[in-house]
Amino acid sequence: MKSTLQAALREPLLTIDSERDAIRRWQNEGDRHALELLLRSHARQAWSQALRYADNPVDLDDLVAEGMIGLMRAANSFDLKMNLRFSTYAAYWVMNGVFTALARIGTVIDMPVRTYLDARMGRLSGDDAGLSYLATQGAVPLDAGGEGLSLSERLPCSSMTPAEATETRSAQALLQRLLDQALASLDPTEKAIILRRRLAADPETAEAVAADLGMSVQRLRQGETRALTRLRRDLVARGFSRAMLH
């Protein structure tokens, strides 16, 4: 599906009922017209992210394409049981796609996205600042050669910009809401076990939790295994990648 900025801005936003109907038709029936309707109405999200970081038309098209792929992934994994608008859920997928593609298409070596952005905008300091900038231009050797670290190993990763920090907090808040919803699907005992054994800053021992809940350690471990399996399955359905669950 070819999209232009003007077309994306002209496309009307869907009502929540129309939005959910399109998602349902795509997920249950494979209705490509429903998917296209959903993507067209949210294409402005991909354009918004891409326009912030692209500095030439070629990069812009690539970043928009990655953002649109993020929208498709969101459409595939959106859980209709969630009390959440699709645009809010899709924001993480679009941002992740654009940011991951940004450093890949803009450098000749693998470079953290924040380092790439800071190098382009002159926010780095020290000896590595010049090397980082030149790496974004493809004007330095990829490896140091001989003794010493390679260029990719020397590249620093500075602190996040205010915009990136805001986007990160938004994504984290979304993931926390999804986790809370998944935990709510467990029964109270299972939820207590997971919270105390897996999600606490200082996890408790199986013996301590079992004694507190009035069950054997073996029964607790069995319940913990079942609860983890259900929780992982629920989280994947809600949009978590499997790598995020390890």
Contacts by 177-184, CB closer than 8 A, 24 or more apart: 177/84, 178/82, 178/235, 178/238, 178/239, 178/240, 179/235, 181/82, 181/238, 182/231, 182/234, 182/235, 182/238, 183/231
* Tally of CB atoms within 10 A around 121: 10
d(C-alpha 34, C-alpha 25), whole Å? 6
Does residue 242 have a pLDDT over 70?
no
Q: Tens of pLDDT along 159-185?
A: 555 555 565 666 667 677 878 888 888
The yes/no answer on whether domain 5-160 falls in CATH 1.10.287 is: no
Per DSSP, the three-state class of 95 is helix
The yes/no answer on whether domain 185-245 falls in CATH 3.90.1750 is: no
Q: Tens of pLDDT along 7-22?
A: 888 889 899 999 999 9
The ranges assigned to domains in the chain are 5-160, 185-245
